Chain A
Amino acid sequence: MKNKLILMIACVLITNLICVNVFSQEKIKSVLLITISYYDSTWSWNPEGVVILPCDPPSLPIEMAENNPLIVFLGDSGILIERHIADPRMFLPEEYNTEYSLLDSTDITFRLPLFKGIKEFQFYYRPEDVEASNPNIHIDLTEYIDQYLANGGESQKAPCQDEPFSVQK
């Protein structure tokens, strides 16, 4: 009987852990826009470049091999989502007569799903930065998410909400 109780408690605990984990990565119908820039050999961001919209996000960026830049979403319990992405400085020119080199400067706006439970965003450009736990970009998203929810969250109106399509229309 005692063993059964221990087993039951263990099952409940494990199930809850799984539920919390799945719930924490649940997408909501909102998209997080984060613009980062590369100038003078430095990655930067500014507060106006972080926006949350009440619309569907695109699919996650194309996942690259591990030696590529890394984006990470953190929640209260640590890493929620991490993904290696293509180098934002990389472009693929055709019929290019000059020796190839990565862009000296660029801006990119990530459009990412707003997973439930996310608190922070990190961007690591080089594998060495990941090894050293030294993100090139680190943004505390709490304030942005709180403000978004205070403004009505998903129930807000925005231009990115498509008209619903109907057969009759």
Chain B
Amino acid sequence: MKKILLSLTPIVFFMCFILFGVCSCKYDWQKPAIKVKHSPIIATSSEQVTYTVTVLSTGDSPASVELFIGTALVQTFNNVTKGQTYSFTGGPYPNHEKGTIAYRATITSDDNDSETRGYYYFAITDNNYDWINPNIPARYTGSHNIKEDIVFHHASDYSSFSNFVDDVGDKVWDVYGEQEYIEAPDFFDNFNFYIYRNQAQAIGCGQVHGNCNTDMPWRDVDAILHVAEFGDCARIADRTFTAEGPSTQSFLHESGHAVFGLSDEYDGNTAYFMPAVEPNIWPHETIGLAEQITKGRDPKKVWRFTTNQGGWWGIHDKDVKTVMMQGWVGEPWGKEASERVIWYFSQF
């Protein structure tokens, strides 16, 4: 009996690795985990700011969350529950006008296991949204050379800058912050978000203000928000895209292009392309077949989804709306696009 048990040990270890080692690569639910946000995403010196902590896991024991603004502990939430949100409202911050507020949160379990998120920085502007620079930090997590800087620009059809600021908050928290993979705090914290004061053009695939290159040569992605609804556009070479601000129609899909380097997965009048690593579509069936065989997947899933530009192949299900077919929040990335997104975040 003992021999049988011993002989089963490697199999048990292997099964444990498959079940826990592989499955826990995204989150380690045995440890306490949180994500934190603030709203509005930049505040005028007369506005209050609400900080919201979402408890992703408490680990194996009860836990508490401490919220710090600057170095001051402003709130402790005891006996927090997984999946629940906890809020604190602070400010206004007139003494920080044209400066920044820094905040962090720490969750600590009764086992003394803990996780900290932050410091995050955001700007306090004057009442006209003027700051010390035209590029205003909306959520700064670290230096430009180690983070991906996404800058939001506003088109001329915004009736007020505060509406634009609200829309940026929605994109950051309700689109990126709720979308598979991006929402994971370890991934999400690779982004800095900025709001740019100078106006951009949304038409003609988007054109940022002429001062951008001298104000922010370090930026990685330009997102131009507009109010009117029209067919949006992205460019890969300079990582620029346009999207409706008040609705969420195009933002995620266009981010798929400009942030992650994903190609369209629909059949239409667009350009198809293949990045060097983890492309989501292929210009030759053989590349797709090789990919599926290498990864132990069914090569029969490879299909020619468009005859445009010599034909392009993918494995996405034509009956399932993926992010790169449509792009509404909550839609799946699909297998190949997921691999590209995960690879992208692995580069940080």
Contact = CB atoms under 8 A, between A and B. Distances in A.
B214 A100 contact: no
B186 interface: no
Given A62-B239, A159-B214, 19 more contacts: A33-B217, A51-B213, A53-B214, A57-B217, A62-B236, A62-B275, A63-B276, A65-B273, A65-B276, A88-B235, A90-B235, A92-B236, A94-B254, A96-B268, A96-B270, A100-B269, A108-B237, A165-B102, A165-B137
B140 interface: yes
Contacts of B149: 58
A67 B110 CA distance: 57
A89 B172 CA distance: 29
Q: Which 10 A-B pairs have the closest CB atoms?
A: A86-B236, A95-B231, A56-B144, A56-B218, A96-B269, A63-B276, A62-B261, A86-B237, A88-B237, A31-B217
Q: Is the interface of A mostly helix, strand, loop or mixed?
A: loop
B270 A93 contact: yes
Interface size class of A (residues with CB under 8 A): 35 or more
Contacts of B220: 58-59
B232 interface: yes
Contacts of B168: none
Interface string B137-165: 10010011100110000000000000000
Contact of A163 (B119, B132, B217): B132
A15 interface: no
A162 interface: yes
20 contacts: A33-B217, A55-B218, A56-B145, A57-B218, A62-B261, A62-B275, A63-B277, A65-B273, A90-B271, A94-B233, A94-B270, A108-B238, A159-B215, A160-B216, A162-B135, A163-B132, A163-B133, A165-B100, A165-B121, A169-B102
B226 interface: no
Contacts of A111: 213, 217-218
A64 interface: yes
Given A93-B205, A165-B140, A109 B238 contact: yes
Contacts of A151: none
A92 B213 contact: no
B70 interface: yes
A93 B61 CA distance: 51
Given A64-B275, A100-B269, A167-B102, A92 B235 contact: yes
B105 to A, nearest CB: 14
Interface of B: 70-71, 96, 99-100, 102, 119, 121, 132-133, 135, 137, 140, 143-145, 148-149, 205, 213-220, 231-239, 250, 253-254, 257, 261, 264, 268-271, 273-277, 279, 308-309
A158 B214 CA distance: 8
A56 B143 contact: yes
A44 to B, nearest CB: 17
A53 B216 CA distance: 10
B212 to A, nearest CB: 9
Given A65-B274, A92-B257, A96-B270, A58 B218 contact: yes
Contacts of B274: 64-65
Interface of A: 27, 29, 31, 33, 51, 53, 55-59, 61-66, 68, 84-88, 90-100, 102, 108-109, 111, 158-160, 162-163, 165-169
B153 to A, nearest CB: 15
Contacts of A97: 269
A115 B257 CA distance: 27
Contacts of A84: 276
A62 B273 CA distance: 12
A31 B218 contact: yes
Contacts of A92: 233-236, 257, 264, 270-271
A12 B68 CA distance: 52
A69 B130 CA distance: 40
